[in-house]
Amino acid sequence: MAIDSKTLHSKLKEFFGFDSFKGDQEKIIAHLVSGKDAFVLMPTGGGKSLCYQLPALVMDGTAIVISPLIALMKNQVDAIRGFVAENDGIAHFLNSSLSKAQLTEVREDLLSGVTKLLYVAPESLTKAENVEMLKEIKISFYAVDEAHCISEWGHDFRPEYRRIRSIIDAIGPAPIIALTATATPKVQSDILKNLGIQDAKVFKSSFNRPNLYYEIRDKSDPKRDIIKFIRQNPGKSGIIYCLSRKKVEELAELLNINGIKALPYHAGLDAKTRAENQDRFLMEEIDVIVATIAFGMGIDKPDVRFVIHYDIPKSLEGYYQETGRAGRDGGEGKCIAFYSYKDIVKLEKFMQGKPVAEQEIGKQLLLETMAYAESNQCRRKLLMNYFGEDYTYDNCGSCDNCLNPKKQFDGQEEMSLIIELIESMPEHFKLEHLANILAGESNALIKSYEHDKLELFGAGKDHSVRFWCDVIHQGIVRHFLEKDIEAYGLIHVTDKGREFYEHPYEIMLTEERQFVDGEDDDDEISVQGAKAGGGGGDQVLLAMLKELRSDLSKKLHLQPWILFGDPALEDMSITYPVTVDELKNCQGVGEGKARKYGKEFIALIAKYVEENEIERPDDFVVKSIGNPSSANKLFIIQGIDRKLSLEDIAAAKGLEMEELLTEIETIVASGTKLDLDYYISQTVDDDVVDEIYDYFKEEAESDSLQDAMDELGPDYDEFEVRLVRIKFLCEVAN
């Protein structure tokens, strides 16, 4: 069947309302309509769907569209029905979510020939009764969307995708079009081979996204960096990816406590909450979504301005797919990933015990990621080359390595020294151990092996252990060295490494790698050193602030602790806040408190800064979640916002009331204002509320609960006192 260009254009207009084709769409469609196989590689948002939707509508028979995402199927089908309004039967989907009645309807429409597009999940396609049914109808062609799912080398492997070819054979032959947005040469060849369409014409668009900026950052204090970055980009939408649910919850909470509107998204949340959070992001009620990789497939928000990877991803394919969600409208899109070698080791640990083949693949993918992160070359060029595309410019002008080139040196002697050391020992050792030997740093392990007596011990003592670790990383990345993951990461020399040792050549290494050894990760938020030890701030200023607090408390007839706690004053003496916004970043200071009592304090600080010509630090304090951190705080804040009863909130999170109250107290102590009046007025007698309230306002010397109970006496219920204390702190102190 041949359809001319004019007809295709008029159908494009008629069905979809578009005036022209995008990129290669027309060529691809003409090719498919003429009955030939096609392989389409197009970046996300390139317009792949149209490449099979339009042909399906103009060709005889029904097109079978295989797609992995049940949720997306319904959207796609609805969209098609929207375009071609006269008949809902024109498109259907077949997956496990359909009822008996719905299935019957689909079957009838298929057999009567009204259905032009049938979306199927691969699991449904393998069912015998479906295969039997499809045998009876005329198939125009098969479309395999998200075709990278076929390959173990992709980031989203689905074993059912492997069976597609045999099922197609069972149903009956028709042209095949495979489509994907991510494919390295390896994945490409997997797809073609597995679908048995080696002769398919390949349509490949460039994957370069010129508007995206790529940067890899040292993961020494990622939370702080992220908060700082978001504050510098107010009002912009962004996605932050983390590898674990726990981290997602924690980070979302931390951002909120630091005044950033963020919500979590991960597979552990119930479907309703997930949908709600996603909607609030799309509707721009919140700025940031913190998510595991589960988020983003199929959402189309064109103006995502940044994508941050809190953890380095497991593969560059995944990384590229996720960064691809930034700047789809062609506008700004900053892609920042945090990297520490420790994370690589962590990911390697997850692979231990997996089947060898899977481990090999995982290891390769991870190595590519590590090479990318540690490289000093243009990130764009590395990515394009990884996806099998030439990128010939030396400076893209939009990645960290191009904008801030790092100093390099020829490391052939250093690399040779490492290889010599490894080859000189009968056993294999870990990376740090080797680095210690060369740097001449002894420790118990080195002594036990008597490695401090080796000839090469200290042979590289001009450099630090850190330096030698870096060079070994580079050796791994360049395939001179290899790490055995199963065997605790012992380092071997490869054939390529031995060859290099025999005939060394120039290898340019980065001089000062900025990457630190570890990162805060599972620990508490790092707070400035000064605070941990206490008294590291400006002592003169601190004394002045305390005096001001004392004067002001007399004037306002409020206890000093109600104005600002000592931690807040200490923070002020470190960061010199001179605006209300800056003041809000101090411990225990929320919006309300900063506005209510802050004016005099910032005036005093501003004057002090000016008179003493103090350079204010370009720094700020990250408010911590409080310990022990729980992932419940965000839920609690939102629940109280929606005026849920405390019993319901506690039940939803499996907490005792006592535990819930403690959580609420921590939230309030961090400076967040909560309005519990709706609950208190229903559960505590008005007079009792007034009495407790007055005690805190007039008599209390601190917010101590013990003192309050002693003072108020046994007639008062501790739970009620705590509730009113929260109310008081929120109304007067916060």
**Interface positions with Zn ion (CB under 5 A):** 378, 380, 396, 399, 402
**Which of 3, 30, 45, 416 is in the footprint of ligand ADP by CB under 6 A?**
45
Q: DSSP letters along 279-327, please?
A: HHHHTTSSSEEEE-TTS-TT---TTEEEEEESS--S-HHHHHHHHTTS-
Cβ of residue 150: shortest distance to ligand ADP, in angstroms? Answer: 17
Q: Does residue 259 belong to the site contacting ligand ADP (CB under 6 A)?
A: no
- C-beta of 165 vs 379, nearer to Zn ion: 379
**Which of 28, 32, 42, 637 is in the footprint of ligand ADP by CB under 6 A?**
42
What DSSP state is assigned to residue 426?
Answer: S
Interface stretch with ligand ADP, choices 47-55, 444-452, 693-701, 716-724 (CB under 6 A): 47-55
**Which of 29, 49, 421, 646 is in the footprint of ligand ADP by CB under 6 A?**
49
Cβ of residue 278: shortest distance to Mg ion, in angstroms? Answer: 18
Q: Does residue 510 belong to the site contacting ligand ADP (CB under 6 A)?
A: no
Residue nearest to Mg ion (CB): 48
Q: What type of residue is 328?
A: R
The interface with ligand ADP within residues 157-186 (CB under 6 A) comprises 181
Residue 656, φ and ψ in degrees, nearest 5: -75, 155
Distance CA 383, CA 391 (A): 9
Containing H/E element for 7?
A: helix 5-11
CA-closest candidate to residue 22, choices 37, 38, 40: 40
Q: DSSP letters along 30-52, please?
A: HHHHTT--EEEE--TTS--HHHH
10 Å CB burial of residue 618 (0-12, 13-18, 19+) is exposed
- C-beta of 248 vs 335, nearer to Zn ion: 335
- Residues pairing with 483 in the sheet: 491
10 Å CB burial of residue 198 (0-12, 13-18, 19+) is exposed
- C-beta of 397 vs 617, nearer to Zn ion: 397
Cβ of residue 179: shortest distance to ligand ADP, in angstroms? Answer: 7
* Contacts of the segment 295-302: beta carbons below 8 A, 24+ positions apart: 295/239, 295/241, 295/265, 295/266, 296/239, 296/322, 296/325, 297/69, 297/72, 298/69, 298/71, 298/72, 298/75, 299/325, 300/45, 300/328, 301/237, 301/325, 301/328, 302/328, 302/329
Q: Does residue 11 belong to the site contacting ligand ADP (CB under 6 A)?
A: no
**Binding-site partner at residue 630 among Mg ion, ligand ADP, Zn ion, none, CB < 5 to 8 Å by type:** none
**Binding-site partner at residue 22 among Zn ion, Mg ion, ligand ADP, none, CB < 5 to 8 Å by type:** ligand ADP
Cβ of residue 382: shortest distance to Zn ion, in angstroms? Answer: 9
CA-closest candidate to residue 143, choices 163, 164, 170: 164
- Residues pairing with 204 in the sheet: 41
| Total residue count of the chain as it appears in this document | 734
Cβ of residue 233: shortest distance to Mg ion, in angstroms? Answer: 28
Cα radius of gyration (the chain): 31
Distance CA 208, CA 210 (A): 6
Q: What type of residue is 487?
A: A
Token pair listed for 242: 């983390």
Distance CA 65, CA 519 (A): 45
Q: Does residue 46 belong to the site contacting ligand ADP (CB under 6 A)?
A: yes
**Which of 8, 32, 33, 48 is in the footprint of ligand ADP by CB under 6 A?**
48
Q: How many residues of this chain interact with ligand ADP, rule: CB under 6 A? A: 13
- C-beta of 207 vs 372, nearer to ligand ADP: 207
**Binding-site partner at residue 45 among Zn ion, Mg ion, ligand ADP, none, CB < 5 to 8 Å by type:** ligand ADP
- C-beta of 6 vs 503, nearer to ligand ADP: 6
- C-beta of 380 vs 483, nearer to Zn ion: 380
Convert residues 24-53 into a mask of x (bound to Mg ion by CB under 5 A) and - (unbound): ------------------------x-----
- C-beta of 49 vs 559, nearer to ligand ADP: 49
**Binding-site partner at residue 722 among Zn ion, ligand ADP, Mg ion, none, CB < 5 to 8 Å by type:** none
Q: Does residue 50 belong to the site contacting ligand ADP (CB under 6 A)?
A: yes
Cβ of residue 49: shortest distance to Mg ion, in angstroms? Answer: 5
Q: Residue 638: how many CA atoms within 13 Å on its side-chain side?
A: 18
- C-beta of 49 vs 632, nearer to ligand ADP: 49
Cβ of residue 323: shortest distance to Mg ion, in angstroms? Answer: 17
**Which of 3, 9, 27, 47 is in the footprint of ligand ADP by CB under 6 A?**
47
Distance CA 346, CA 354 (A): 15
Convert residues 14-33 into a mask of x (bound to ligand ADP by CB under 6 A) and - (unbound): ----x--xx--x--------
CA-closest candidate to residue 288, choices 220, 330, 234, 328: 234
- Applying CB under 6 A, which residues contact ligand ADP? 18, 21-22, 25, 42, 44-50, 181
- Applying CB under 5 A, which residues contact Mg ion? 48
